[in-house]
Amino acid sequence: MTFSALDSAITGPLFAADAMRAVFDDRARIAAMLRVEAALARAEAKSGLVDKALAPAIDRISPAAFDLAALGRETAVAGVPVIPFVRALQGKLPQKLRASVHFATTTQDIADTALVLQVAEAFDLIAVDLREVLGGLARLARRHRATPCVGRSYGQHAAPVTFGYVVATWLAGIGEAAAQLPALRQRVLALSLGGPVGTLTGLGGHADSVRAAMARDLGLAAPAASWHTLRGRMAEAGTWVAVLIGALAKMATDVARLAATEVGEVAEPHAPGRGGSSAMPHKRNPVAATVILAAHAAAAGYVVTLLNAMAAEYQRPAGLWHAEWHALPALFGLASGALRESRALAAGLVVDTARMKANLDITGGMPMAGGVAAALVPSLGRDKAHRLVAEAADAARDRAGSFAALVLAAAPGKSRPAVEAALSTAPAIDAAAAAVPPIVAEARAVRARLAPAKRKS
């Protein structure tokens, strides 16, 4: 039985990328815990606290050597997976080394640090996807920098823009989230090593040296304070992932709306069988937008779980820390599916420039109403100018004629040259086109900073 659409053999491939699912699968968790225990053993051996043979012996053990079903049964009794894991690990080591395993640490140290190692891999996958999304959208924005289309406010025609500007807006939002990733890595990717209550009493005077050596070994930061009950790192990581999904969802929302039959300005890249309907053979549903928007709708609840976990009592909470295990991997899973679909949109979105031009012209110049009103102010005053334009717009909506013809007919003779100039879309198109290059340049700089960090594996 599966309790999550992300884990399901049926729906999992729809909502999460295989590479991300592999990062957080059970074998990957065991591999991460083995890395942590080996790094701890190496650091403690340097201080003469454990046998130098312990770390190499741990390194030789494969994650595949562990019985997942047995670990699951024992975790249900112990309350945390680290306890049966350590017991199983000891059983795979020479007798003389068993007592030294897990020396002076605690279950949460191993679980948290292992999770951080998985998060580090997850960040790397996200960085790769983000580079592709940013690059694809930058190319799309440049290609359509001067392609006229209508800007919409409250779902209604507002003023002319360009499709390149629309894409650049998506690019800017995603770029803003992406720009935070390098600094986020520095804050989140931190060693957890505190011992039973965070003081590392069992290491005596070696605590600082062991912490520093272990952190170097794993390529992690070494915070001075134990973060057993300081869950801001996990909350920040999850919140950032949700914000990133939200930025992708802005694009997905626009794509879904612009792909509607009545609008028809874009279409998702199509493949046989994609986006079909069991009842309506003609349908091409926007699958990419659907996956992204589903991720966005689901993400907020997981963020709340992580924020709730920050209210941890004393030196170790009951339940709140465990709740993170439901939330953080799921957020990364949702992000992976959303990013996969965003890559497809960035690389292959189908743009119908003729339909964009037709939609822009469909109201006969009404998107230029603001400029027309401004052109009439010198001769009519503000109130009369706005009233004349509003009445022309109402008449155009009642099919009495095109907005441009109606407003020109109603305008005072001396104002008509200015009104005719105001009805031109060129200034608005030029302004929208001019906004694209700076956004693209900024995104290019963000993209360059997203190379995955080099860490020991």
Decide: 15 and 337 in contact? Cβ < 8 Å.
yes
SS3 255: helix
CA 62 – CA 42 distance, rounded (Å): 18
Q: Counting Cβ atoms within 10 Å, is residue 345 exposed (0-12), middle (13-18) or buried (19+)?
A: buried
Residue written as token pair 């049926």: 10
* Active-site hit among 277, 424, 449, 455: 277
Q: Give backbone dihedrals phi and psi of 281, rounded to 5 degrees, phi first.
A: -60, -20
Helix axes 287-308, 232-258, angle to 10 degrees: 160
| DSSP structure string for 37-104 | HHHHHHHHHHTTSS-TTHHHHHHT--GGGS-HHHHHHHHHHHSSSHHHHHHHHHHTS-HHHHTTTTTT
Q: Counting Cβ atoms within 10 Å, is residue 445 exposed (0-12), middle (13-18) or buried (19+)?
A: exposed
* Active-site hit among 87, 216, 257, 316: 316
3 state SS for 423-434: CCCHHHHHHHHH
Q: Which tokens belong to 181?
A: 């990733």
| DSSP structure string for 400-444 | SS-HHHHHHHHS-GGGHHHHHHHT-SHHHHHHHHHHHHHHHHHHH
In degrees, rounded to 5, the angle at the alpha carbon of residue 424 between the alpha carbons of residues 421 and 427 is: 95
Nearest to 242 by CA among 298, 323, 186, 167: 298
CA 324 – CA 170 distance, rounded (Å): 30
Indicate if 316 belongs to the active site. Answer: yes
Decide: 285 and 277 in contact? Cβ < 8 Å.
yes
Nearest to 147 by CA among 447, 418, 429, 454: 429
Decide: 377 and 412 in contact? Cβ < 8 Å.
no
Indicate if 444 belongs to the active site. Answer: no
Decide: 279 and 233 in contact? Cβ < 8 Å.
no
Q: Which residues are catalytic?
A: 277, 316
